[in-house]
Amino acid sequence: MFTSTIRHRLLLFTGTMIVSMGAVHTLIAANNNRITLTAQLALAAVAVGYFAFYRANYLALRRVRYGLLAAHATAYVIVNGSYWAHATYLWTSGQGEAVNADWYGLLFGMGALWGLGLTIHAIAAHAGRGFDDAVVA
């Protein structure tokens, strides 16, 4: 019962992150694919929502093997992946000039720094709980 509740929360979180980032990218597209202050504030709102989910579900996620790491990785993939997908669309549709220095900060800066944090989280999760009691069939 407990793990199905966590599974449901993680699926709801995933859906919410996808919809939220869809809204952020719609906002960016509506501003001629420019990263404006409004777009950055929208991303900050998504970050606050992510933090709120993580904080509200911290204890429950800790009780499931790699639950915290799964939430972290999910957010990383959705947020960074959505920016890369948007930029790739712009590059391949002949609108590559829209991907300027503001985009590079999000694509490379956020991706690299968050990726480093996710890597450290993964190493700590493996070292702390590992696969010692995992059953291999």
What is the average per-residue pLDDT within 16-37?
Answer: 97
Residue 135 is assigned to a structural domain of this protein: no
CB neighbour list of residue 90: distance below 8 Å, 6 or more residues apart:
33, 96, 98, 99
Question: Is the pLDDT reported for residue 3 higher than 90?
Answer: no
Residue 134 is assigned to a structural domain of this protein: no
What range does the domain containing 40 cover?
Answer: 2-128
Nearest to 27 by CA among 80, 96, 83, 93: 83
User: What was the pLDDT predicted at 1?
Assistant: 45
Alpha-carbon distance of 106 to 98, in angstroms, equals 13
Q: Which ranges in 1-137 belong to alpha helices (H)?
A: 2-30, 37-56, 58-62, 67-92, 101-104, 111-128
Nearest to 84 by CA among 102, 107, 63, 58: 107
What is the average per-residue pLDDT within 17-29?
Answer: 98
User: What was the pLDDT predicted at 133?
Assistant: 55
Q: State the first-to-last Cα distance of the chain, in angstroms, to the nearest integer.
A: 23
User: What was the pLDDT predicted at 137?
Assistant: 46
66-114: pLDDT as tens digits: 899 999 999 999 999 999 999 999 999 999 999 999 999 999 999 999 9
Residue 119 is assigned to a structural domain of this protein: yes
Domain count, the chain: 1
Alpha-carbon distance of 1 to 4, in angstroms, equals 5
Residue 45 is assigned to a structural domain of this protein: yes
Residue with tokens 């069939």: 137
Alpha-carbon distance of 44 to 35, in angstroms, equals 13
Residue 133 is assigned to a structural domain of this protein: no
Work out the percent of the chain whose per-residue pLDDT is above 70: 91
What is the reported pTM?
Answer: 0.88
Structure tokens at 60: 């429950």
